[in-house]
Amino acid sequence: MMVGVVVACSSVSSIKALWETRIRRRREEHEEEHKRRTTRGGATGRLGVGLWEDRAALARLKQKLETEDGRLVLRIEQEEWKVLPGCLIQLSQVQEWQIHRTGLLKIPHFISSFQNLLVLDLSRNGVAEIPKQIGKLTRLRELLLSYNRIPFVPAELSGCESLERLELTMNRDLNELPDQLGTLSRLQHVDLSMNDFSCLPACLLALPALEWLDMGGNCLHHLPEDIHRMEALHTLWLQRNELEKLPENIARMRSLDTLVLSSNRLRDIPPLMEGMSNLRFVNFRDNPLTLDVTLPSRKAVPEDEEEEDVREMFGKEFMLMYIQEARKRAYAVLNVHCVNQSDDESNDESSA
């Protein structure tokens, strides 16, 4: 009897040990599976989610690609892209960025990876900094950052040796450019209008290819005496500044054909400007000029044209007439002075 009891107890113990072993193994398997899941998508949990988000963002970016004039263009407009995802670097073959009104806050530092980039147009966003890495884009031809919040231009931009066009309109606090930009031998078009410049940046005078410059809507008080160094400049916009006089050397700007000086504080027009034969369009409107000169009356203005628009076309004629009138008055004053001096000498001789 006792033998049967012992055998039964032994059998129960063996079965119990077997189940405990199975339970322990199953628990260990569960723990290992949980660790594997955590490694793939949890604790690096965010890593898994991040990879999924990158794939989704990259898919969205690819939908924004267009081919235009033989270039691969990334075009995003009027959507919210405050930050450009790192996966964008996978589209490094893109040659042109057109990203407007997206609320973009910064240019990513990985911009330097886009060695094929020819045009970087990020106008009308909230960009507050141009990263130094941009200087590595040696093929970049156009940098358009108008209507942003950029207060400072890094010297490294001079590394963009192919740059032809630079637009920084309406960045408000921007008031200087680094001297190093004077080495950009291909830069032709510069727009710095509606900023806070109080003088013409020295680097602009050193640009050998500069043809078009807009400094309108700044706080310019004077122009440099050596402004004639800008030998290739043909268009100069200086409207809505605080200029009180023009340097005589402006008359030596042989390529200049368009000069806009409306809404300044000019009192006179330099007489030497009379010899600027290349000048085709000039505007002195809304300046407190010393002389009141009126052009001869014109034919009736066509119905489809505003009188003010027609008057614009006679800016050079006004300039020449003003200079001639100033010269006449100067001669008249000189003659009066000579007559008075002669009379005084005659009176002195009579008294003697």
Q: Beta 71-77 vs 65-68: how paired, if at all?
A: antiparallel
pLDDT at position 11: 54
Q: Which residue has the tokens 């192919």?
A: 162
Listed in sequence order, the residues at least 6 apart from 103 whose beta carbon sits closer than 8 Å to its beta carbon are: 80, 81, 82, 125, 126
Residue 266's region, left for phi above 0, alpha for psi from -120 to 50, else beta, is: beta
In this prediction the pTM is: 0.79
Q: What is the pLDDT of residue 28?
A: 67
* Residue 197 CB contacts under 8 Å (≥ 6 apart), including other chains: 174, 175, 176, 215, 218, 219, 220
Q: What is the DSSP string of 179-199?
A: GGGGG-TT--EEE--SS--SS
Q: Does a structural domain hold residue 169?
A: yes
Q: Is residue 24 part of a domain?
A: no
Q: Which of 79-93, 140-154, 299-313, 325-339 bottoms out in mean pLDDT, i.e. has the lowest?
A: 299-313
Q: What is the C-alpha to C-alpha distance for residues 63 and 61, in angstroms, rounded to an integer?
A: 5
Q: What is the tens place of the pLDDT at every residue in 23-73?
A: 677 776 666 655 555 444 444 444 455 677 778 889 999 999 999 999 999
Q: How far is Cα 313 from Cα 168, in angstroms, rounded to an integer?
A: 29
The residue range of the domain holding 164 is 58-175
pLDDT band at 294 (very low <50, low <70, confident <90, very high): confident
Start-to-end CA span in the chain (Å): 174
Q: Give domain status of residue 283, yes or no.
A: no
Q: What is the mean pLDDT of residues 343-352?
A: 58
Instruction: Judge whether 39 lies within some domain.
Output: no
Written as six digits, the tokens of 323 are: 């200079």
Is residue 156 included in any domain, yes or no? yes
If one counts the domains in the chain, the total is 1
In the three-class reduction of DSSP (H, G, I as helix; E, B as strand; rest coil), residue 241 is classed as coil
Q: For residue 333, is it within any domain? A: no
Asked whether residue 13 is assigned to any structural domain, the reply reads: no
Average pLDDT, the chain: 86
Type of residue numbered 332: A
Query: Does some domain include residue 345?
Result: no
Domain containing residue 76: CATH number: 3.80.10.10
